[in-house]
A and B are shown apart, each in its own frame.
Chain A
Amino acid sequence: MKLYELAIHEAHGLIKKKEISSKELTESVLERIDEVEPKIDAYITVDRKKALEQANQADTLIAKGDTLSPVTGIPLSIKDLICTKGMKTTCASRMLENFIPPYDAFVIKKLKAAGAVIVGKANMDEFAMGSSTENSGFKITHNPWNPDCIPGGSSGGSAASVASDMCLGSLGSDTGGSIRQPASHCGVVGMKPTYGRISRFGLVAFASSLDQIGPITKNVKDCALLMNAVSGYDSNDSTSVPRDVPDYTLSLEHDLKGVKIGIPVEYHRVEGIDPAVSKAVNSATKLLEGMGAEVFEVSLPHTQYAVAAYYVIAPAEASSNLARYDGVRYGFRDKEQKGLMDMYKSTRSKGFGFEVQRRIILGTYSLSSGYYDAYYGKASQVRTLIIEDFKNVFEKCDVIISPVTPTPAFKIGEKIDDPLTMYLSDAFTLSANLAGIPGMSLPCGFSEDGLPVGLQIMGTHFNEEMLLRVAYNFEQATNFHEKKPVL
């Protein structure tokens, strides 16, 4: 077995026993990047020198015999919209092509303090707007299971880098499914925690009431370990919730007896569900039931309106957040301009890609005088009803399970000219962001073409432990997470 194939918890065990060093592990990951990155294109930036420096620092900590964190010396990739001091953070946008943050995001500060190794910054849809990573301003990432297919998005580079062993784990961000959907398409584990669980300080904002950072890993235990490493209150994020962080690995010790699992009847009505997806999710349901969980149908009557509400609210927030890119204080400036107003406009039109401009227009329109009540106001009311649906359901059950996406990964180029069809593929994931609840994705099967299928587990606010418990039991009873793409 090559060192790059290790999961975080396995590598940690070997590091602790001094059987391997962080330097050996990091070098192995860098060699793997040399080998497969030309086929996958998961990274925007790889910084070998810094990664090896961090690995050496970690080895010094390890040699001193200090108490180690499970991420000490572990090579990770970071989605390129999480600020890393001194390392380019582009959001996959021409607008920020040369932006070098003068500070670390809260999660990066935590990882660095724990001695983690940051290998590089992962590709994504520009400003996290997209479901395929095709909207990156720089490159298209390929799905490790089939290079003709998208890796999902927007955290497509993160998921592809984990699935192809070009890092041991990654941090992504999820505004409408951007962690869970690529995790599902790449056959890895991804979690969008409760809104407020992880500080957004240093996460470049897309839609502030929906964005959340979370881990993408090779298995459920690693997901719990990364959650332990980056969760917690931060006074620099006014929406961060002051609440103790449990040891998430403890939730892996419980079986499924007495756990109540709800299946929303409305999800059967989502159009265009691929038979491979329903088959894998149905088998997963039966398996969980066989392991002692109680499974029954529940109803989320307003869930069918989630896509419509989301594609008003998210672009509205984005249009406001992205107003800051004006070519004055940082980022791209178009030098061919006449006067200040022209500079703003030409900078923004040349700096942003089409999807970003489309969403800015949509968001500005839905907030504009005369349309605010009909669009933003209405969507915000429907959001309340979607939240109430979840509240009612979680009085009866501990978790909800569903598909993550209606289909396995689609072909590159297939949906790029049809934004609405692309948006509709987010039907299962968006509502967790609207409601602020945690959701995760883990491998539960493969299509006939060998593409991974994911299972989504959602729970009530701050009940990530229950998600991890169900996921871990499922993972222990299956071997989907052990399969690797042939590269």
Chain B
Amino acid sequence: MKITVEEVAHVANLARLNLNKELTDTFAAQIGTILDYVDTLNQVDTKGVPPTSHAIFLKNAFRMDIRKDDFQKEELLSNAPDEEDGFFIVPKVIE
């Protein structure tokens, strides 16, 4: 197999996903088929070809490092699953 069940489980952990056994197996098979197809890229001679990450030739866009007051704190907290006193609340970090 192109990608093993163990590799899918490892990558799922890196991507912070909980996959059950069934989904891990399904993904291993499906992603394996996709990767087999992706291997056709190896037919292309890319020696010395620079990679492209961005199709339009723009240079870095700089701006002055000035604070903008686009939002009120309440607006930004309004979608938070849990907040208190202007802070985002998360579960305990240190066991």
Flag whether A109 is at the interface (Cβ < 8 A): no
Does the CB pair A329–B88 fall under 8 Å?
yes
Q: Mark B34-47, 1 if CB is under 8 A from A, else 0.
A: 11011111111010
Flag whether A319 is at the interface (Cβ < 8 A): yes
> A434: nearest residue on chain B (CB-CB)?
B55
Does the CB pair A461–B34 fall under 8 Å?
no
Q: Mark A426-437, 1 if CB is under 8 A from B, else 0.
A: 000000001111
Question: By the criterion of a CB under 8 Å from any partner CB, how many residues of chain B are at the interface?
Answer: 54
Does the CB pair B90–A378 fall under 8 Å?
no
Given contacts A103-B70, A302-B44, contact A364 B34 (CB under 8 A): no
> B15: nearest residue on chain A (CB-CB)?
A364
Which chain A residues in 126-154 approach chain B with CB under 8 Å? Answer: none
Given contacts A302-B44, A362-B34, contact A368 B51 (CB under 8 A): no
> A375: nearest residue on chain B (CB-CB)?
B38
Per the bound structure, the CA–CA distance linking A151 and B95 in Å amounts to 49
Does the CB pair A194–B34 fall under 8 Å?
no
Per the bound structure, the CA–CA distance linking A228 and B12 in Å amounts to 44
Question: By the criterion of a CB under 8 Å from any partner CB, how many residues of chain A are at the interface?
Answer: 72
Interchain nearest-CB distance for A279 vs B (Å): 29
- Which chain B positions have C-beta within 8 A of A304? 40
Q: Which of B15, B43, B55, B90 contacts A387 (CB 8 A)?
A: B55
Given contacts A103-B70, A378-B42, A384-B51, contact A362 B16 (CB under 8 A): no
Q: Which of A239, A328, A341, A434 contacts B56 (CB 8 A)?
A: A239
Interchain nearest-CB distance for A236 vs B (Å): 9
Interchain nearest-CB distance for A359 vs B (Å): 10
- Which chain A positions have C-beta within 8 A of B70? 103
Interchain nearest-CB distance for A344 vs B (Å): 5
- Which chain B positions have C-beta within 8 A of A352? 17
Does the CB pair B38–A312 fall under 8 Å?
yes
Given contacts A319-B15, A328-B81, contact A339 B92 (CB under 8 A): yes
Per the bound structure, the CA–CA distance linking A338 and B46 in Å amounts to 48
Does the CB pair B34–A346 fall under 8 Å?
no
Does the CB pair A326–B16 fall under 8 Å?
yes
Q: Which of A98, A100, A381 contacts B46 (CB 8 A)?
A: A381
Flag whether A349 is at the interface (Cβ < 8 A): yes
- Which chain A positions have C-beta within 8 A of B55? 195, 209, 383, 387, 434-437
Does the CB pair A380–B52 fall under 8 Å?
yes
- Which chain A positions have C-beta within 8 A of B23? 354, 357
Flag whether A39 is at the interface (Cβ < 8 A): no
Does the CB pair A368–B17 fall under 8 Å?
no
Does the CB pair B17–A349 fall under 8 Å?
yes
Which chain A residues in 393-442 approach chain B with CB under 8 Å? Answer: 419-420, 423, 434-437
Per the bound structure, the CA–CA distance linking A483 and B77 in Å amounts to 48
- Which chain A positions have C-beta within 8 A of B92? 339-340
Does the CB pair A368–B63 fall under 8 Å?
no
Does the CB pair A100–B31 fall under 8 Å?
no
Does the CB pair A379–B41 fall under 8 Å?
yes
Interchain nearest-CB distance for B80 vs A (Å): 6
Per the bound structure, the CA–CA distance linking A456 and B49 in Å amounts to 29
Interchain nearest-CB distance for A210 vs B (Å): 8
Pull 6 A–B residue pairs with CB atoms less than 8 Å apart, ordered by A: A102-B76, A195-B56, A196-B56, A357-B27, A419-B33, A437-B55
Given A360-B15, A361-B11, A362-B34: 12 more A-B contacts, CB < 8 Å: A102-B75, A238-B58, A239-B58, A327-B81, A339-B91, A343-B91, A349-B18, A378-B41, A378-B44, A384-B50, A385-B44, A461-B56
Residues of A within 8 A of B (CB): 98-100, 102-103, 194-196, 209, 235, 238-239, 241, 302, 304-305, 307-309, 311-312, 319, 323, 326-333, 337-346, 348-349, 352, 354, 357-358, 360-362, 364-365, 368, 375, 377-385, 387, 419-420, 423, 434-437, 461
* Pairs A-B, 6 closest by C-beta atoms: A436-B55, A380-B51, A330-B79, A333-B81, A238-B61, A381-B46
